[in-house]
Amino acid sequence: MADTPEEPLLLTPGPITTSRATKERMLHDWGSRDRDFIALTRHVQGRLLHLARGEENHVCVPIQGSGTFGLEAMLGTLVPQKDKVLILVNGAYGARIAEIAKRMNRNHHVISLAETCPLDPVILDEALAVDPTITHVAAVHCETGSGLLNPIDKVAAVTAKHGRRLLLDVISTFGALPLDVASLPCDAVTISANKCLEGVPGITFAIVREESLAASQGNATSLSLDLFEQWRMFEETGQWRFTPPTQVLAALAHALEEHDIEGGIKGRGERYRNNCQILIKGMQELGFQTFLPFKFQAPIIVAFHSPSDPNFTFPAFYDFLRDKGYAIYPGKVTTADTFRIGCIGKAYEKDILGVLAAVRDAMKKFGFTPG
Ligand SMILES: *Cc1c(COP(=O)(O)O)cnc(C)c1O
């Protein structure tokens, strides 16, 4: 629930609505080299490592910035110039990883599937069998552009079978869907504060197998996005290399407490799944169609086909819902005209019922029918 009527509830892929208590943790200044902040950083690193079940062999390295900064740091540090990464793409975020690899001049090969098609372990198996020069595989857990959930366990099993290393973007699922970096197995994942962890934006993390990170010195061609150097500084001093987002980290520490109180990954995942089911059922009853079949849908964000009725325009629909207190999101798939409604953030059943009522009012006001 948004705190004030002027502040809409953010039903988006992030940043999402956070609790008042999380925002209030930012009313404090921290010295970046002060022992309290060093302890806070350590605490958050430990909590995230625990959530990813990475305590055994992985380490957690924070990076300033949004999730994309973390992806760039992960790719740039863990894939040396001489190696080659296979990037599995079935949406905008997989395409972003390919763009990063291209910009950073890393050898890469892209396998593209339709945006309605989950990643296919058989295709991956064949690709790895024919190209022994591929050292890494990169993929996205939930394609937030469409809302599709990829079968990362199967992708991980095939990658491991061929002895290659897996790099995952779990930015839009971490904290709501289970992840076990050890048993997947997986070399590194990138996560971000402002999605299912319900923190504020400005900080991202890589959870990396320590052995791989230790062998990555000198790979990064970026100074600030060098995971190895960032990690070494934390190991040696507990401190950040460059100015940390102190308030953002403090807010995340509190958001993680709320996550724990809600029942951790299980509790949060259940609330989002419930939001998602009520949303889809309600929208279908109003006549809207989802972009994906339900079996491929992640409980994170739902893409709906935009009505083809000329009385519907997205900007007017958006403004109407915005005035009723709900901020939704434009579509991002390339093959259909869609809009998206998020299930994540501090949103509860009554909020989803509220947005459904507002959509019903919009249909009356503008006189469009979905379909
Ligand atoms: C949000 C998101 C990102 C990161 O996007 P930013 O705009 O950099 O925060 C990356 N991958 C996925 C799947 C996402 O949902």
Say which CATH number the domain at 288 has.
3.90.1150.10
Domain shared by 315 and 249, yes or no: no
Q: Is residue 1 part of a domain?
A: no
- Does the pLDDT value for residue 2 go beyond 60? no
* Contact in structure between 155 and 113 (CB atoms under 8 Å): no
Residue 5 — very low, low, confident or very high, per pLDDT cuts 50/70/90?
low
- Does the pLDDT value for residue 147 go beyond 70? yes
Domain shared by 163 and 287, yes or no: no
Taking CA atoms only, the protein residue closest to ligand 1 atom 15 is: 172
Helix axes 349-366, 314-323, angle to 10 degrees: 130
Name residue, tokens 């901020």: 327
Domain shared by 92 and 238, yes or no: yes
Q: Could you give the CA distance from residue 369 to residue 311 in angstroms, rounded to a whole number?
A: 8
Q: Which domain holds residue 272?
A: 9-16+263-366
Which atom of ligand 1 is closest in space to residue 194's alpha carbon? 9
Which atom of ligand 1 is closest in space to residue 68's alpha carbon? 8
Domain shared by 290 and 306, yes or no: yes
Domain shared by 327 and 209, yes or no: no
Which of these three, 190, 225, 260, is where a domain ends?
260
Q: Could you give the CA distance from residue 333 to residue 343 in angstroms, rounded to a whole number?
A: 18
Domain shared by 254 and 274, yes or no: no
pLDDT digit string, tens, across residues 250-270:
999 999 999 999 999 999 999
Residue 172 has a pLDDT of 98
Domain shared by 145 and 231, yes or no: yes
Which atom of ligand 1 is closest in space to residue 70's alpha carbon? 8
Residue 276 is encoded by which pair of tokens? Answer: 């998602």
* Contact in structure between 146 and 116 (CB atoms under 8 Å): yes
Domain shared by 59 and 173, yes or no: yes
pLDDT digit string, tens, across residues 337-367:
999 999 999 999 999 999 999 999 999 999 9
Taking CA atoms only, the protein residue closest to ligand 1 atom 3 is: 67
Residue 4 — very low, low, confident or very high, per pLDDT cuts 50/70/90?
low
Q: Is residue 172 part of a domain?
A: yes
Residue 217 is encoded by which pair of tokens? Answer: 């010195």
Ligand 1: which residues within 6 Å by Cβ? 13-14, 66-68, 93, 140, 144, 169, 171-172, 192
Q: Could you give the CA distance from residue 276 to residue 15 in angstroms, rounded to a whole number?
A: 18
Q: ∠ at Cα 303 (148, 65), nearest 5°?
A: 70
Which atom of ligand 1 is closest in space to residue 65's alpha carbon? 8
Q: Is residue 371 part of a domain?
A: no
CA of 228 to the centre of ligand 1 (A): 22
Which of these three, 241, 260, 279, is where a domain ends?
260
Domain shared by 167 and 87, yes or no: yes
User: What percent of the chain clears pLDDT 70, i.e. is strictly above it?
Assistant: 99
Which strands, in side-by-side order, build the sheet including 188-192? 58-64, 203-209, 188-192, 165-169, 136-140, 84-89, 107-112
Taking CA atoms only, the protein residue closest to ligand 1 atom 6 is: 67
Domain shared by 207 and 270, yes or no: no
Q: Is residue 335 part of a domain?
A: yes
Q: Is residue 4 part of a domain?
A: no
Q: What Å distances lie between residue 168 and 68, 71, 172, 248, 341, CA to CA? A: 12, 9, 11, 23, 24
- Does the pLDDT value for residue 225 go beyond 60? yes
Taking CA atoms only, the protein residue closest to ligand 1 atom 4 is: 67
Which of these three, 209, 237, 260, is where a domain ends?
260
Domain shared by 270 and 316, yes or no: yes
Mean of per-residue pLDDT scores for the chain: 97
Q: Please count the structural domains in the chain.
A: 2
CATH of the domain at 87: 3.40.640.10
For the residues 62-90, what does the mean pLDDT come to? 98
CA of 171 to the centre of ligand 1 (A): 6
- Written as one letter, the residue type at 45 is Q
